[in-house]
Structure 1
Amino acid sequence: MGKIKLIEDGNFPRWLRLSLIVVGIAIFYCTIKFVPPSLWSGLLLMIGFGIALVGGMTSRAALYKIKPFDNSYKKARDSYKVKDDENNK
């Protein structure tokens, strides 16, 4: 049995993005439909919205070929470092 990867090519795989959206909307809907208004229902509502938001934003990032969970920023950060011999001039 193969390993399940949660990050592929710097983003979530399609099945995980879709699952986050569906689970977030389900929590959001169940909270509105079945939970009486209280502080806890507001918290559940925000959690469901947040989960769906993460799924939607990563889907948008995949559409635009953006890699939000990639380590390429380390290469960019290293390119700005000054070498010791250049610093002493």
Structure 2
Amino acid sequence: MRIISGGNFAPWFRIVLWATGIVIAAGSYFLLSGLAMFTGALVGMLVLATGTYAERANMLHLKPFDNSYKKARKSYEEKDEEQDKS
């Protein structure tokens, strides 16, 4: 099982992130109190937000975890070398 496939999180992992975030936030709210409740709810919301971000990126066909920037960097290096030769 791969966690990252095609430049984004795998569908099963996005669902796990989403569900885990809800469970952590709700569990913290109902079972804890004070600063522990706040910290737990904050961590749960961050996990939930990560899953939501990955799902929206998938719907828009974006690849936030792809290594395509390396290809772009190489293409700019090639252009700079050509300009330096001229």
Determine if the TM-score, normalized by the shorter chain, exceeds 0.5: yes
Question: CA separation in 1, counterparts of 2:52 and 2:25?
Answer: 14
- Pairs aligned (count): 84
- Point out where structure 1 has 5 or more consecutive residues left out of the alignment: none
Unaligned runs of at least 5 residues, structure 2: none
Q: Which structure 1 residue ranges, 4+ long, deviate > 2 Å from structure 2?
A: none
Deviation, 1:64, is: 0.5
Structure 2: how far apart are the matches of 1:88 and 1:69?
35
TM score, norm. by length of structure 1: 0.87
RMSD: 1.2
Match of 2:6 among 2, 5, 9: 9
Q: What is the CA deviation profile of residues 14-42 of structure 1, one whole-angstrom value per residue up to 9, with x for unaligned ones?
A: 1100010000011000111110122x222
How far did 1:6 drift? 0.7
Q: 2:39 aligns to what?
A: 43
Pairing 1:50-69 to 2, within 5 Å after superposition: 50-69=46-65
**Percent identity of paired positions between Structure 1 and Structure 2:** 32
Q: Measure the CA separation in 2 of the matches of 1:88 and 1:63.
A: 44
Query: Deviations for 1:28-70, whole angstroms, at most 9, x for unmatched residues?
Result: 00111110122x2221111100000000000000000000110
Q: Which has the higher helix share?
A: 2
The amino acid that maps onto 1:70 is D
Distance 2:22 2:2 in 1: 24
Q: Hey, which of these two has a bigger chunk of strand by percent? A: 2
